[in-house]
Amino acid sequence: MAELLTVASVFVRKAPISRAAIASLADVASKARNKTSAVISPIAFAAVQKFDAIFALERGINGLPPDQRLAARRKDIAPLVNELIAWMKQERATLSRHNAVAKAFDYMLKRIDAFTRFLADGRICLSNNAAERALRGIALGRKAWLFAGSDRGGDRAAVMFTLIQTAKLNDVDPQARLADVLARIADHKINDLAA
């Protein structure tokens, strides 16, 4: 597990300047657990244990309102994250720049604001697992989506996927909602859009 914390696929959402970038520590920890190698780096193993401690506390506050999650994070999780960052900086100084663990530490330390954004906003999830689950259906049907045929078709498909997922996230039946909208569009006067 010398390459335990290879984080090339860590999700970092790029957003306009008015929004904050969010990164997911879940991918870092899962990458660390999924490597199969005969050699286990003690530093990487210690890092995984520190990530696990953070995730254990986060599991305890999942489902709480954002303000309560934020208070719990500031009280319990922020000290662990600060300790993790200080420890990573200290351990990073002992590693060669070519070491896989050093590269993972460098990746995270350069993006520390994105990795710690969840400590300042109770609405942000520590992991992006829910978003990945929501995209699973699209990923499974990847070959079937070739029917789009053009950029415009792809754009239309993206709009439809967005509408469907937004409806699901708001506990609205997407099929019933689209049927209702399409039925109302058919009878609506085009020159009276404000009605």
**CB-CB contact of 112 with 17 (8 Å):** no
Examine the pLDDT at 149 and tell me if it is beyond 80: no
Residues 16 and 105 in one domain: yes
Q: Which domain holds residue 155?
A: 141-187
Q: Is residue 102 part of a domain?
A: yes
Residue 187 has pLDDT above 90, yes or no: no
Cβ atoms within 10 Å, residue 28: 23
**Residue-wise pLDDT tens digits, 63-101:** 899 999 999 999 999 999 999 999 999 999 999 989 989
Cβ atoms 44, 88 nearer than 8 A: no
Q: Which residue has the higher pLDDT, 130 or 42?
A: 42
Q: Is 167 in a helix, a strand, or coil? A: helix
Which has the higher per-residue pLDDT, 29 or 136? 136
For the ranges 46-50, 111-115, 126-130, the lowest mean pLDDT is seen at 126-130
Q: Same structural domain for residues 21 and 100?
A: yes
Tally of domains within the chain: 2
- Clarify whether residues 18 and 111 are in a common domain: yes
Evaluate whether residue 170 is within a structural domain.
yes
What DSSP element (H or E) covers 12? strand 12-13
pLDDT for residue 168? 84
pLDDT at position 61, please? 92
Q: What is the pTM of this model?
A: 0.59
Domain shared by 33 and 72, yes or no? yes
For the chain, count helices (H), then strands (E).
9, 2
CA pair distance 167, 101, nearest whole angstrom: 41
Bin 41: left if φ > 0, else alpha if -120 < ψ < 50, else beta. Answer: beta
Enter the DSSP assignment of 116: T
d(CA 69, CA 71): 5
State the average pLDDT for the chain: 78
Claim to verify: residue 151 and residue 96 sit in the same structural domain: no
pLDDT score recorded for residue 27: 55
Which tens digit of pLDDT belongs to each residue from 23-45?
A: 555 555 555 565 555 577 899 99
pLDDT band at 13 (very low <50, low <70, confident <90, very high): very low
